[in-house]
């Protein structure tokens, strides 16, 4: 398979040192960093393949609002929103200084007291700003991992595990036929009398593999790197689930042919479905390379060393 991900040399972009150091530290113990390709030294998670949005030829202004990152199909690189800001270190704000009234001897003591308060407030503000900067850096690092799963692992042309989704969905129909390129799935819409629950299936032009890939990648991302917690989250607030089947693509394409699944049903199904593949990743990480398996090896090369055959 031997795919090289050292694409930075082909471009003018140079990742800032603070971003590279942050990602290096964040990824050093990740399972995907431990798995090497068949040839070469690159692992499945290398920030050398990361580029900011503005490096993408077809970038649109709306992409900055709508996307945290994306991985073009069949491409080696991934694109991360605000990548240059990863690892940002907040510059402490200069504290305010109280003035001395030369005619008031007590103003010297008052100035010391006020200067101390201002210094403490400045340090507190800087700490809060740094917490936010670290939160966004963690989110961008997680986005990079998510997009790497799309490109280096599950991409059908260049991924290390091109059979993974087919195998995970083998024998099921909950998310559509694994690896299907048909468009028989769609959205169920009400028809007829509004007081009578009757629906019809409106076909979608999208490839179900895209939606299968996204939901499975969301679950694998959470397994490999938990969502960062917002530093100032209210006590009664809760984080969104890692697998989000309420997105438009799941509304349109993730209907089971006999009727739509619930959101929790999809989450539970996807999590159960990815478990065997996640165990394979752990085994490959322990070995340090991609072993023969039904997830990675083309079916015409399956043999005695291919697990699951």
C-alpha angle 293/225/266, rounded to 5°?
70
Domain limits of the chain?
A: 163-309
Mean pLDDT of 171-195: 68
List the end-to-end C-alpha distance of the chain, in Å, as a whole number.
Answer: 21
Distance CA 218, CA 214 (A): 6
Copy the structure tokens of residue 22. 């942050």
Strand order through the sheet with 69-70: 50-52, 78-80, 69-70
Is residue 121 pLDDT above 50, yes or no?
yes
Distance CA 155, CA 143 (A): 16
Is residue 38 pLDDT above 50, yes or no?
no
Distance of CA 201 to the CA centre of its chain: 31
Distance CA 27, CA 36 (A): 14
- Phi/psi class of residue 52: alpha, beta or left (left: φ > 0; alpha: ψ in -120 to 50)? beta
Of the listed ranges 94-108, 121-135, 161-175, 234-248, the one predicted with least confidence:
94-108
pLDDT at residue 62 in the model: 85
Is residue 251 pLDDT above 60, yes or no?
no
Exposure on the CB side of residue 144, measured as CA atoms within 13 A: 30
Q: Is 207 helix (H, G, I), strand (E, B) or coil?
A: coil
Distance of CA 152 to the CA centre of its chain: 13
- Phi/psi class of residue 140: alpha, beta or left (left: φ > 0; alpha: ψ in -120 to 50)? alpha
Is residue 137 pLDDT above 90, yes or no?
yes
The CA distances from residue 141 to 25, 50, 159, 179, 202, in Å, are 10, 10, 20, 28, 37
Beta-carbon contacts of 267 under 8 Å, excluding residues fewer than 6 positions away, are 219, 241, 243, 245
Sorting pLDDT into bands at 50, 70 and 90, what band is 194? low
The length of the chain, given as a count of residues: 309
pLDDT at residue 106 in the model: 66
Between 97 and 166, the higher pLDDT residue: 166
Is residue 2 pLDDT above 60, yes or no?
no
The CA distances from residue 16 to 11, 85, 260, in Å, are 14, 9, 46
Beta-carbon contacts of 46 under 8 Å, excluding residues fewer than 6 positions away, are 5, 6, 148
Pairing mode, if any, of strands 78-80 and 50-52?
parallel
Sorting pLDDT into bands at 50, 70 and 90, what band is 3? very low
Beta-carbon contacts of 278 under 8 Å, excluding residues fewer than 6 positions away, are 220, 223
């Amino acid at each position: 398979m031997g795919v090289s991900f050292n694409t930075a040399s082909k471009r003018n972009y140079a990742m800032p040192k603070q971003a590279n150091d942050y990602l290096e530290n964040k990824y050093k113990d990740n399972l995907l960093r431990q798995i090497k390709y068949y040839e070469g030294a690159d692992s499945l998670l290398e920030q050398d393949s990361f580029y900011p949005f503005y490096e993408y030829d077809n970038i649109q202004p709306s992409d900055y609002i709508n996307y945290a990152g994306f991985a073009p199909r069949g491409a080696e690189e991934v694109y991360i929103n605000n990548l240059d800001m990863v690892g940002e270190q907040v510059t402490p704000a200069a504290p305010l200084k109280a003035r001395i009234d030369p005619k008031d001897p007590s103003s010297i003591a008052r100035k010391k007291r006020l200067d101390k308060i201002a210094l403490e407030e400045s340090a507190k503000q800087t700490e809060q700003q740094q917490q936010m900067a670290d939160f966004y850096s963690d989110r961008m690092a997680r986005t990079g991992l998510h997009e790497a799963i799309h490109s280096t692992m599950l991409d059908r042309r260049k991924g290390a595990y091109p059979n993974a989704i087919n195998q995970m969905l083998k024998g099921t129909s909950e998310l559509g036929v694994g690896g299907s390129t048909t468009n028989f799935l769609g959205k169920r819409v009400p028809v007829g009398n509004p007081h009578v629950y009757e629906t019809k299936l409106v076909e979608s032009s999208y490839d179900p593999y895209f939606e299968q890939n996204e939901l499975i990648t969301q679950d694998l991302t959470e397994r490999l790197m938990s969502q960062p917690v917002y530093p100032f989250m209210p006590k009664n607030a809760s984080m969104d689930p890692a697998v989000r089947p309420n997105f438009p693509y799941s509304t349109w394409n993730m209907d089971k042919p006999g009727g739509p699944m619930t959101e929790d049903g999809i989450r539970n199904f996807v999590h159960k479905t990815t478990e065997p593949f996640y165990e394979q990743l752990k085994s490959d990480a322990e070995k340090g390379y991609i072993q023969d398996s039904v997830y990675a090896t083309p079916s015409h090369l399956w043999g005695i060393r291919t697990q699951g055959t």
